[in-house]
């Protein structure tokens, strides 16, 4: 339910603000909330980038798009407080998570080091 509310918020803000402005305004508020609720931060960033159209997939990436629609979390692990997706048909999702965490994540880290 929280993800639906976040998606609606991002949709609304996308009508009146630029993507970078939305990130600067919402990320300091939403990220701690997502962490407190036990969601995977990389997955949250992927969803946010998709919503803001900063991360796009070509229409020819049909299997990736199908996998995003079928990506589910392990209910028993969630009850134990663990953040664990069900490992079925998730190769493309794992590749996107890896790309965001390593390639984009390292660029952000480099930018932070340069700005200090």
The gap between the terminal CA atoms of the chain, to the nearest Å, is: 38
| 10-residue mean pLDDT series, the chain (116 residues) | 82 85 89 86 80 74 76 78 73 74 58 48
Please give the pLDDT value at position 96.
Answer: 75
- As beta bridge partners, residue 73 has 85
Nearest to 47 by CA among 29, 18, 62, 27: 27
Give the 3-state secondary structure of residue 85: strand
Nearest to 48 by CA among 67, 24, 81, 82: 24
């Amino acid at each position: 339910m929280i993800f639906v509310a976040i998606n609606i918020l991002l949709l609304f803000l996308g009508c009146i603000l630029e993507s970078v402005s939305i990130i600067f305004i919402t990320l300091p508020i939403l990220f701690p909330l997502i962490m407190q609720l036990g969601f995977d931060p990389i997955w949250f960033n992927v969803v946010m980038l998709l919503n803001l159209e900063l991360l796009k997939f070509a229409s020819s990436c049909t299997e990736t798009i199908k996998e995003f629609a079928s990506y589910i979390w392990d209910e028993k692990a969630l009850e134990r407080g663990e953040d664990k997706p069900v490992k079925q048909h998730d190769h493309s999702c794992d590749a996107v998570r890896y790309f965001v965490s390593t390639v984009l994540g390292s660029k952000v880290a480099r930018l932070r080091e340069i700005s200090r």
